[in-house]
Structure 1
Amino acid sequence: MINEAMFRGRSRRLAVGAITVVIVLLVSMWSTWSRGNTSEVLDLKEDGLDFINKEMHAASKPSPHPSRNKEDLYRTMNTKQQFCRIDSTPKIKPSLPRIKPFDWVYGSDITSRLNSTFEIINKKSAYEVCDRIQVRITARNGRNEQKRFGGDYFRSRIVTNDHKGHTWSSMSDGEVDDHGDGTYTATFTLKWPGEVVIRIYLVHPSEAVSVLQKQSQSQLARYSYKGIFCSNHGPVVQEERECNVFMSPQTKHVCKFTDRRTRLSWYCHHPTRAGLNCSHWCRFRSDSRSAITYMMTTLPEKEKALFQTSIMNNRNLLHSKDYTVQAKPDIHQRMDFLPPCKPGIHGNSFAHSGYYADDEWVSSYCNILRFSSSFPATLDCLRKKTLFFLGDSTVKQLFDYFMKRLEGNVEIFHGNTFSAGKSAPILAVDEKHRINLIFRSHGYPIGDDAVYDIQSIQYLANTLDDMKVGDKSVVIVSIWRYFTPHSESLYEERIRTIVEAVKRLHTRSPKTLVIFNSANTGNMDTLESVVYNSDWYARNLDEILRRELSGYDRIGFLDSWEMTNAQLFPHRTHPVGMHVQNLADHLLSFICPSSQLK
């Protein structure tokens, strides 16, 4: 336990002096990790956030908003639209097809974006909003021959740009169906009136997918991580060794670090310098430079050339002679409102997707309130609440949004002065409104190239087990980004440990709101981004996440995959444009749904 004398001498305001000590103690408790085969980090037992809230309340009681009542604020944020009726029976998205590994000889064997085509099936002379259309995609190779097998990765979208500068966009209803014979079907629900343009993109030809699939099923390391071993007894001795989630059984002299509770393991080569052993592991970092060098030296030239065709840009758009339909307004199939966002409403149904109307995301399943248009409503929703943002840098992006939204009201405390990367623990406190924002990364692997003290790293299942939560706690989980260079089985195992921990959390605190965020599309503008972070990997991880969550209806779900597939901004691992703002509005709509105001 850190001695409180460490904090003496800090010139802080008297009203928050005691609070600072508690906060730093809290963060330090998150960083107490016994080396070897244990992992004990987070301990919010007796004097956790409840104590901080009491101190804040005594120092500064919040005052109500002076001018407008809560119902007025929420009513003005409600988007006045009508919505297509959907099948209320949840349907699990079908598993993505797997193809048998195969070889190709000539460049003309590869699926050609220029020769592949699409057409509207049984096109009608007139359509109405809420009608569905189906599009048949035919994959052809460089010789303009129809492909006789599936596996191509197509992305589909519908878009409208009217003469007034307004835009609408949506992805297909679920993923493109692969029939395994070189033909594919994309299904769209028409959600707005006007001229609707169909866009089909070839993300990866099946030949590239075959290589990606082989890599995703392999246990061999495709990314590089380093473990730093250090001894401060006597002369300082340090050594950096290779680490990873898996090492070949033929590898000799390996340090195996197994978490005592989750039984998850991490491996490092044993240090070779005298005076160092496995117990001297002190720091961790990823090594993207070595990973890229390894890829460039081991990836066959044939496959490099193949992946060059997969670098995402507008040239991947397929052509069609007939790619538009006219949708007329129709009120007979529409509803005037959507139900409030609540646990159990998540993206396992593929009835039809949501869509963007200009910069606003419109869900097909629940009513998203526009908190971003009202700062007082945001404060009112977050007041007296503690939000835990757990996972990778994509949930950190959401955490940063709220930090900026509350700018000027929060004090920030970092959990470890040595760990300065995107995944370092952070606690932010708004004393006036009694709001606590906490970010904590997931455990190994972490791939942001920063150096971390291993005491600051913990598996999410243990974090969830150790948290003290209550009715005013909200937990947001997003974990996928650093798993794309690894086997799907590793991700599946990790998600299962987290879901089981969420169930245990709900046993302790049934009213704690837990929300998962899905994977999102990313940039594939370089060879290494395609090989390590392809959207094909992310799509598979997203499928695993949805499958593991499908049997548990006590969670909320933010569908970033659907949102980023529909957006008109460039695809980025950390999405640009209005994505994060819409994600925050959706999150707050779970925390403060309109039904609570009635």
Structure 2
Amino acid sequence: ELNSQLMSTLYKTQSNIHSDFKPHKILWPLVVKNTHCAQIGQKPTAEEAKEEQNLRNSIAWPGLLVQGLPVEFSSDPAKSYFVIQGPAEQHIGGQLVVHVHMQNFLGLPKKHGGDFLIARLHSPELGAGVAGKVYDHQDGNYTVLFPLLWAGVVWVEITMVHPSEAVVVLKRLQKEHPNRGFFKSLFRSGEVSETRFCKMCLPLNHQPLCNYTDPETGEPWFCFKPKMLGCDTRVTHYKADIKQKLITEYEAQFFQSGLNLKCPIDASGMGNVTVLPAEEQNQVKNYQTASGYYYNDSWMPLNAMDMQQFRDPAAITNCLKGKIVYMLGDSTVRQWFQYLTAFVP
């Protein structure tokens, strides 16, 4: 009874402090109508514009974001918890439902959503795992759905990557500093070499530019022209630096490793279930929450795609023989490229 009275008092205190800080600024999801440096790139076709909007809609952060709250009222993964729904034994083809309840550093339930949570269901001894689909109810509660795809003991793992209060900061940086990274290219001809800054957009009236805009996609990319060399002498490209000290001391409190940055959320009650073979009378499979899963450390797609695995250099060489492979992407693609060139002689 004493604990109940204490929690009631704390909850009233929270409401009073909330009132003292009202009105909070409500941040609507950021809407960007024009791509960066659109005045230089080619105008997208109607089909491309529709595809771009669909992509933006797919990554739009759900709901409203509240900013300006005291740190004590931000999400605390150590006090938050998840609860597995259903019995301790379930069957392949079913769906595991998990409820996540976020609490603040006072141990009180959060009143709004927006936290960045990731979830996985895994069996380490089987080399098996699948990602869960997180649904934000916008009131501090979340539902996670996992497809049950293999037999054995499966463990639920929920991680808070960022609290909703940190997401507010990240969206501000996205809006105010969209180009936080600096890139450089090395130009070389004989014994002469120069290094110049490069970006998607550079001031047109500052100094001469080298234009490396993709002629097919219109994707812009520019470098300041070397003083002594031509634009055709560019030999390398690398990330030089990133702008620092863009967040305030108050905002930095929401990015503390081990406290509220990439921290696990523990279970209240059981943290795993045992998955049994599928029941004959119930063969319905709920795979809509995942595109595939890992089993025996191998990727298993759920879209009926025929996957072929190449476990030795000879098999890879035979498959790629006579082919030209284009690898486009970021540093992750570079890692695949480095692995491929190291694995295949």
If the length of structure 2 is used for normalisation, what is the TM-score?
Answer: 0.66
- Residue number in structure 1 paired with 2:73: 109
- Selected match of 2:114 from 151, 163, 168: 151
Cα distance, 1:370–1:230 mapped onto 2, change above 3 Å? closer
- Selected match of 2:130 from 166, 170, 185: 170
- Residue number in structure 1 paired with 2:278: 330
Q: How does 1:210-289 map to 2 (within 5 A)?
A: 210-218=168-176, 220-226=178-184, 242-246=197-201, 253-255=206-208, 257-258=210-211, 259=213, 261=215, 262-267=217-222, 276=227, 283=234, 285-286=237-238, 288-289=240-241
Query: Do 1:141 and 1:147's aligned partners in 2 also have CA atoms closer than 8 Å?
Result: yes
CA-atom RMSD in angstroms: 3.9
Q: Residue 231 of structure 1: CA displacement? A: 10
Q: Residue 278 of structure 1: CA displacement? A: 11
Query: Do 2:162 and 2:261's aligned partners in 1 also have CA atoms closer than 8 Å?
Result: no
- Residue number in structure 1 paired with 2:333: 395
Q: How does 1:66-465 map to 2 (within 5 A)?
A: 95-98=59-62, 100=64, 102-121=66-85, 123-124=86-87, 126-161=89-124, 165-172=125-132, 175-218=133-176, 220-226=178-184, 242-246=197-201, 253-255=206-208, 257-258=210-211, 259=213, 261=215, 262-267=217-222, 276=227, 283=234, 285-286=237-238, 288-289=240-241, 291=242, 294-296=243-245, 298-309=246-257, 315-330=263-278, 332=280, 350-365=288-303, 366-372=305-311, 377-407=315-345
1:288, 1:367 → 2: CA distance?
Answer: 41
Give CA-to-partner distance per residue, 1:84-130, whole Å, 9 cap, x none.
Answer: xxxxxxxxx95543454543343212100011121124x13641111
Query: Do 1:225 and 1:242's aligned partners in 2 also have CA atoms closer than 8 Å?
Result: yes
Q: Residue 241 of structure 1: CA displacement? A: 5.6
Query: Do 1:150 and 1:179's aligned partners in 2 also have CA atoms closer than 8 Å?
Result: yes
Q: Residue 254 of structure 1: CA displacement? A: 5.0
Q: Which consecutive residues of structure 1, in runs of 5 or more, have no partner in the other structure?
A: 1-36, 38-92, 336-348, 408-598
Query: Do 1:159 and 1:168's aligned partners in 2 also have CA atoms closer than 8 Å?
Result: yes
2:59, 2:239 → 1: CA distance?
Answer: 33
2:238, 2:337 → 1: CA distance?
Answer: 23
Give CA-to-partner distance per residue, 1:167-215, whole Å, 9 cap, x none.
Answer: 422211xx31112221111101111222222111111101111111222
Query: What residue identity is the alignment partner of 1:115?
Result: K
2:178, 2:228 → 1: CA distance?
Answer: 25
- Residue number in structure 2 paired with 1:466: none
Query: Do 1:219 and 1:246's aligned partners in 2 also have CA atoms closer than 8 Å?
Result: no
Q: Which structure is higher in helix share?
A: 1
What SS is found at the alignment partner of 2:302? coil
Query: What residue identity is the alignment partner of 2:294?
Result: Y
1:359, 1:379 → 2: CA distance?
Answer: 22
1:399, 1:229 → 2: CA distance?
Answer: 23
2:151, 2:338 → 1: CA distance?
Answer: 36
- Residue number in structure 1 paired with 2:3: none
Query: Do 2:291 and 2:302's aligned partners in 1 also have CA atoms closer than 8 Å?
Result: yes
Query: Do 2:65 and 2:114's aligned partners in 1 also have CA atoms closer than 8 Å?
Result: no
1:190, 1:311 → 2: CA distance?
Answer: 31
Cα distance, 1:281–1:399 mapped onto 2, change above 3 Å? closer
- Sequence identity, in percent? 26
1:206, 1:357 → 2: CA distance?
Answer: 33
Cα distance, 1:363–1:104 mapped onto 2, change above 3 Å? same
What SS is found at the alignment partner of 1:361? strand
Query: Do 1:101 and 1:214's aligned partners in 2 also have CA atoms closer than 8 Å?
Result: no
What SS is found at the alignment partner of 1:209? helix
Cα distance, 1:153–1:119 mapped onto 2, change above 3 Å? same
1:98, 1:385 → 2: CA distance?
Answer: 43
Q: Which consecutive residues of structure 2, in runs of 5 or more, have no partner in the other structure?
A: 1-39, 41-56
- Residue number in structure 1 paired with 2:49: none
Q: Residue 150 of structure 1: CA displacement? A: 1.5
Q: Which structure is higher in strand share?
A: 2
What SS is found at the alignment partner of 2:327? strand
Cα distance, 1:288–1:384 mapped onto 2, change above 3 Å? closer
Q: Residue 132 of structure 1: CA displacement? A: 0.5
2:325, 2:81 → 1: CA distance?
Answer: 47
Query: What residue identity is the alignment partner of 2:220?
Result: S
Query: Do 2:255 and 2:261's aligned partners in 1 also have CA atoms closer than 8 Å?
Result: no
